[in-house]
Structures are given as C-alpha cells and as structure tokens.
Structure 1
Amino acid sequence: MDEPAFVIHGVGNRDRVGFTATVTALEVTTGLTLRPVYWGDLGADDTFVDLSLPLRGGAQAELRDGGVLEDAAGTAAVLTGLMHCTQPAGWGVDLPPAVREGVHDVLGEDADQGLRTSTGDPELEQLVLDTLAELWPTTDWLSRTDDPVLLRETGRAITDALAPEPDDPYAGLRGPGQDQNKQRGVIRRRLADLDRIAGAAMQAVAGRANHALRTRLGPATTRFLGDVLVYQRHREAIQARVWDQIAAVDPLLGTGPEHRVRVAAHSLGGVIAVDMATAQQPLWISSLVTFGSQSAYFHLCDPRGGQLAPYSLNTLVSLPPSLGRWTNLWQPLDVLAFAASRVFHHEDGTPPIDIALPHTASAGMWTHSAYWDMPQVAATIADALRPTP
C-alpha cells in the first residue's frame, strides 16, 4: 500500500472538520491517498480583535443615504482609487498635463464647441494655464493627486466658468478686451471651490472605506497576520504537530532520503513545509506542491535559517537535497501569493516550478482561499504527488 501524501493548511483555518472534508474532496478529485495535517488550533486568537478597532459613528459605516458599505471588494476598489492621492500638498511643481488637456478641451482651437460659434481662444487659454500654474501648489488636495480623470475634469470645470451659457452670471468674461483681473479671480475662486470639494469627498470616502475594511476584513487580517506572528514565535510547536501527524502513519516517514514524504500545502502551510524541509534536522520531502504561499517573500525579508543561506544579488538560494521537486502555484489576484523560482534553486541547479493560475470570475476579488476548488490545483497535485513506481 502506498504511503499517503500530506496536506497542510494555511492561515485562518479554525475548522478541523471542514478542512478534513476539503482534503477528502481533494482526495476524490486527485485519486491520491491524502492525509490532512491540521494545526489551526495553535494559531492566533481573534476572539476579541474587534475591541482594537476604532469606532466611527457607530458599529457600521453608514452612508449619507442610509445605506451601508457592505461590499469589501468595492471598498478595496475605492481605496485603490484613493492611492492616487498620496502625495504631500503642492508636490507637483508643474501644472499636471491632464489639467492642461482639460483647459484645452474647452478653449483650444480644435475644441468641440458644441453649439458655440467660437473656434477657440488661445489667448484666454494661456491666461488660464498661467494662472493655474501659479495657484496649483497652493491647493491642499488637488495637488496631491495624479489621477488623470479627476485632473482633466478639474481643468474643464475651471475653464467652463469662463465659457458660460448666456444667462450665466460669469457671462462676458470671454473674448477680446475682457478684464484679466476678473478672469484670474474667477479661476482662483473656482479652483479653491473644487479643491475644497475634492478634499471633503476624499476624506469622507476614505474614512468610510477605512472603517468598513477594518470591521469586515479585520478578523481575516488578524488571522493571517496573527498566524504568521504565532508561527514565528511558536514554530517548534506547530512543526511538531506536523511531525506527529506524519509519524502517526509511519514513524520513519520523512526522517531520511530513503523515507521521503509527499506534501501539498496552502499559504503559510507552504512556509511550514519549506522551513521543515530546509531545517538542520529536515523533513525529507520527495515532492512538494505549494499554492498561495510566501516562502520566497519571507526569506527575502528575513532569512529563514536552517540550511538556507541569505539571498544575495544575482545569486539564487540553494535548496538542500532534503527538498525534492517543488511546484509552486500562484493566482494573479492573490496578494498573499509569491513566486519561488527567482529566489531558490534545487541542488541540481534547476529552479522550483512556478505556475500562474488563471483568474476565474467566480473567485471574486479575494482569491487566497479559492485554490481548493480550482481544477488546475487538483490536477497539479495529482501529477506532482503521484507515487513513483
């Protein structure tokens, strides 16, 4: 009878029964004999993590219309947009090109004037650009962003104040012989108004998004970061759990080159497996499949020790013979997944095999837990961990 391959879960798993069921389903799919290695009861305690989260206007982030910001993926998208507003005020010396484009949209010779009869106003266009270039560093919010859509619309909105409809209170500010001081005053006031509105909107959205992410993703984040911290402090206890569950099948398994073990591991489970296979007293692994894992990232940040040398420029880290063939899977939207082939190489000089998995719409934006249901993962495990004759 073939010895089973062992499956080690990653961060945030607190459901032994559920994990066992997942491995059982994977066993059916792959046709392999698999044994779950559960260590989640040794992970971080997130029972009272909500006590560390600041409250903002109550337990939930309510929108002005009474709705609630529920969609974490949408919230993440909002924060991605807000990343365009991370510079100190006045950081741009020159007026951004997108603002210039917005001004030209309204006043350029080739501008689409709609029902207007004007073919452009280059003199006024230059005055607007000069005035904005002078005032731009004084803005508190607009000068922080490099978002091209926001900047272009800002240029258009400011210039539209000088190109009004006939009944607009600013009518008469275009054309030859106009008072340039009045024109500059309009530009100054409109820029200040838009800057104030942009600031209020950015702060309101950022505050709600921050609170929503904390309250909805806080426990998951705690389990990831907490499990990493717990593993760093209690590595021996967690690795001992792995050894115990392997030894329960056969005490000789993994103890030497003649008794190698096969392993599939998710997330931090992959880090655990690589750490054990490269320790001074290693777990001898013939074939390893990791998915959504971080060994290379952690080793670059803080060398793992054992038999692994620190990474140096243009010199890959040599893996000991105790770690056999290593296949590493990663998903493009999984921010917790890292490649291995640019950091490590096997004893024979070949790198681990990195395989990028396609993103599926059903996985949504949070893909770190999606690997278990992906046919490509099961197929790779079945191929890589198939017992050799």
Structure 2
Amino acid sequence: MKDPVFVIHGVAQRNREEFTSVVSSLSAAAGVDMVPVHWGDLGAREQFIDAALPTQRSDGETLRDAPGSEPPALAPVFTQVRDEAHQLAHVEAAVRDGLDAQDDDGDEDGDGGLRDLGGGGHHLDPDRIIEYVRTAWADTEWLCRTDDARLLTETGRALAHALLDEAAGDWDDAYAGLRGAGADNESRLRSLVRRRLTDLDRVAGAAVQAVGARLNHAVRSRFGPGTTRFLGDVLVYQRHQAAVHARVRQVIDEVDPDLGRGPDRPVRIAAHSLGGVIAVDMATADTPLWTDSLVTFGSQAAFFHVCDPRGGQLAPYGGGAPVHLPASLRNWTNLWEPLDVLAFAASKVFRLHDGTAPVDVPVNHRASNGMWTHSAYWDLPHVASVIGDVMRQDRSAPLC
C-alpha cells in the first residue's frame, strides 16, 4: 500500500475544516488517499486590509493634479504618448467640416444661415480658429493625451458648433456683435476658442474619470481580495518560511516520521499556488524533503526563482541554461490555467536530476469559472485526473 499524498494549500485558506473537505473531494475524484496540510493559520492577517486600500475622493477635486504631475491613466484612450500633429489633424478636419455650415445655403444645423454675420461681411475664419486651437492645445489636461480619432473628431465638431452658436447669438458679448475685424475682436475670438476648448477638455476628463472610477471599483471588488490575500501570504511566507515548513513536516511526521527523510521513503505531494512554492523550497533545501512525485497547480515556483533565487540546492537562473533540480525532487508535473495570472510554467526554468524537464500541463478554461480562475483547480475533473495518474505511477527505484 502506498503512502498518502500530502496536499498543501496556497494563499488565503484560513478555514481548516473547509480545506479538509476540499481535499476529501479531490481525493475521491483522483482515486488516491490524501492528507491535508493546513498552514493557513500562519498566514497574513486579513481583517485590516481595507485600511490600506485607497478610496475615491468625494471633495470634487478629481480633475487637477499637483503642479508638474501627470494626470492619472484611468482609461486606455488617454496615454502618455503625445503626437500633437496627429491629434490636431483630426481636430482641424472636424472644425473645418463643422464651420462649413456657415457657408451652406440651407439651415440644417440651425445656425440661422450664417453666411454673413451682422452685415459686416465677417465670417468665422477656420484658419484663424485652428491657429487659436493650436496655441491652446498644449494647455489641455486630457485632450492633449489622447490619440483616439473619434474623441478628437467629436471635440473638433463640438468646438465648431459651439462657436457657430455663439456667432448666431444676439447677447451683448456674443461674437455676432463684433462687426469688425480689429485686434479687439480677434482677442475676443481667441479667448472664446480657449474657453470652449477648456470646457470640452473638462468634460472629457470628467467622463473618463467617472468610467475609470467604476472600472477601478469593479476590478478591486472582483479581483482585489484574491490578489491582496495572495500578496499578504507571500510576504508572511518569505519572512516565516521555517514556521510554515515545520507545519508541513509536522503533518507528515504524524503519518510516518520516516517519510521524506531520505531517498528510500520519499513523499508524494500535490500543491496549489504558494503551496507549490513551499513544496519546491522544501524539496530543494540543503536538508531536503525527499519527494518522489510533485503535482503543482496554479503555482509560482519558477516565477519566484527567476525574480529572486530561492537558495538551498538551487543555482540562480541566468537566462540561458535551465537550473538543475537535485535528486531529492524526482518528478514534477505543473498544471496551469490560461486565465490564471498567478500560474507560471516550470519547464523553461528547471530541469530534473535526470535531465528531463518538468511537465507543464495546460488546463482548459471553463466559462463558468469566470475571470478569476486561481481557485478553480480544485473542482476541475482534469486536475483530479492528472493528479491521480501521476500518483499511481510505480516508481520503485530509489531516488539517488
């Protein structure tokens, strides 16, 4: 009779009874005896996480930043890359198209047939307006950062229509009241273009911030808790590896204290997420947990080692040849789900002691799992099937 498979959970698993139930279901689906290894009580404290999360301001000061700072990138339509010629080309074309209404014979736009404003023969000059737009463009906060053709075109069209409406007005300071073409008139037109462009800029900024705030809230609500718990447990594990490893060793000793102590009695382990990192760290330590078969799913061992070498018997990864694993880790199968952003491949970074690569196995995405798939592995039949197949293989030869 084979020894049981020890199952090590990953991040954010605080409930021992719940984890025991999950392992029991996985054991039945895989057809192998399993023992849960619960270490979640040693993980990060979650009850005060909300205190560290930023909240949306409610004082109305959402558009302007501190002097010299960059506006927040709340939507992909606004970027830090500026191609003013490209931007103004769209705006200019739309302004010219919009101002063509003043020369139309009809009155489709409701501009009152603005071919002659007040009998003075003074038209809204597109060239002059474009000149004023170019002068004021760099002072916008939002519009000068977008390369979205539709937004730029609509900005130009809205500016043209606003100027035509102003020109058709009969109030005292309306542009229609400026019969001549003197310096004072041009100064008022320049000021009018700048004001309307600023108004449009503020509308664009307010709109994208409203959408961005909702998107930010949705992302935080749906993905934030899982990501936050992941980071919290990773930080705790990095500082308290010894305590977590001792817990794993304790559970194994309760089954048989000889298990994992040498090549003649290796353990079999299935591990999720950070549990896979724990299993690899222990199997490759200077005093290793001798491991015959390891199945990881949604795990980050390769990612962690590339970013920060794990030590023990592992050499750093230099970007060329893979890192050779010691004989104390005989076989490694690594499962990853394509939408799981916390799952990483192992075969490019590592080689087993016999020169073969760990086996990376993709897990098909199920639409019912939604977008956050990091916790979905436990209920996937394919995962249980792979674990069962790997753990039932007969490896009677010693590890070294």
Deviation of 1:41 (Å): 1.0
Deviation of 1:193 (Å): 2.5
Q: Work out whether 1:244 is the aligned partner of 2:250.
A: yes
| Alpha-carbon separation, structure 2, partners of 1:331 and 1:116 | 60
Deviation of 1:224 (Å): 1.5
Once the two structures are superposed, the pairs formed by residues 113-132 of structure 1 within 5 Å of their partners are: none
Once the two structures are superposed, the pairs formed by residues 33-182 of structure 1 within 5 Å of their partners are: 33-54=33-54, 56=56, 82-85=75-78, 87=80, 91-96=81-86, 100=89, 135-146=136-147, 148=148, 151-159=149-157, 161-162=159-160
Q: CA RMSD in A?
A: 3.9
* AA in 2 matched with 1:304: R
| Alpha-carbon separation, structure 1, partners of 2:276 and 2:42 | 16
Moved more, 44-53 or 268-277: 44-53
| Alpha-carbon separation, structure 2, partners of 1:46 and 1:311 | 33
Asked whether the equivalents of residues 158 and 190 of structure 1 are also in contact (C-alpha less than 8 Å), the reply is: no
The correspondence for 1:273, drawn from 279, 284, 298, is 279
Determine what percentage of the aligned residue pairs are the same residue.
53
Residue 190 to residue 365, structure 1, CA distance change in 2 (3 Å): farther
Q: Secondary structure at the match of 1:95?
A: helix
Aligned to 1:234: 240
Aligned to 1:352: 358
| Alpha-carbon separation, structure 2, partners of 1:378 and 1:129 | 66
Query: What runs of 5+ residues in structure 1 fail to find an aligned partner?
Result: 59-78, 109-114, 118-123, 172-178
Q: Secondary structure at the match of 2:282?
A: helix
Q: Secondary structure at the match of 2:365?
A: coil
| Alpha-carbon separation, structure 2, partners of 1:27 and 1:371 | 13
Asked whether the equivalents of residues 159 and 187 of structure 1 are also in contact (C-alpha less than 8 Å), the reply is: no
Residue 327 to residue 191, structure 1, CA distance change in 2 (3 Å): farther
| Alpha-carbon separation, structure 2, partners of 1:56 and 1:291 | 36
**Deviations, residues 169-224 of structure 1 (Å, cap 9, x unaligned):** 568xxxxxxx9x79987765554322211222233444455566557765544422
| Alpha-carbon separation, structure 1, partners of 2:358 and 2:379 | 23
Q: Secondary structure at the match of 2:26?
A: helix
Once the two structures are superposed, the pairs formed by residues 254-265 of structure 1 within 5 Å of their partners are: 254-265=260-271
Q: Secondary structure at the match of 2:85?
A: coil
Residue 140 to residue 287, structure 1, CA distance change in 2 (3 Å): same
The correspondence for 1:373, drawn from 375, 379, 383, is 379
Moved more, 356-365 or 264-273: 356-365
Aligned to 1:194: 200
Aligned to 1:307: 313
Asked whether the equivalents of residues 141 and 198 of structure 1 are also in contact (C-alpha less than 8 Å), the reply is: yes
Deviation of 1:346 (Å): 1.8
| Alpha-carbon separation, structure 1, partners of 2:32 and 2:56 | 50
Deviation of 1:101 (Å): 5.6
| Alpha-carbon separation, structure 2, partners of 1:350 and 1:128 | 70
- TM-score, normalised to structure 1, is 0.75
Residue 159 to residue 284, structure 1, CA distance change in 2 (3 Å): same
**Structure of higher CA gyration radius:** 2
Asked whether the equivalents of residues 325 and 350 of structure 2 are also in contact (C-alpha less than 8 Å), the reply is: yes
Aligned to 1:27: 27
**Deviations, residues 107-148 of structure 1 (Å, cap 9, x unaligned):** 78xxxxxx999xxxxxx99988877666543321123345x3
Deviation of 1:265 (Å): 0.7
| Alpha-carbon separation, structure 2, partners of 1:316 and 1:129 | 60
| Alpha-carbon separation, structure 2, partners of 1:368 and 1:126 | 57
* AA in 2 matched with 1:138: D
| Alpha-carbon separation, structure 2, partners of 1:254 and 1:220 | 32
| Alpha-carbon separation, structure 2, partners of 1:125 and 1:385 | 77
- TM-score, normalised to structure 2, is 0.74
The number of residues matched between the two structures is: 350
Deviation of 1:269 (Å): 0.3
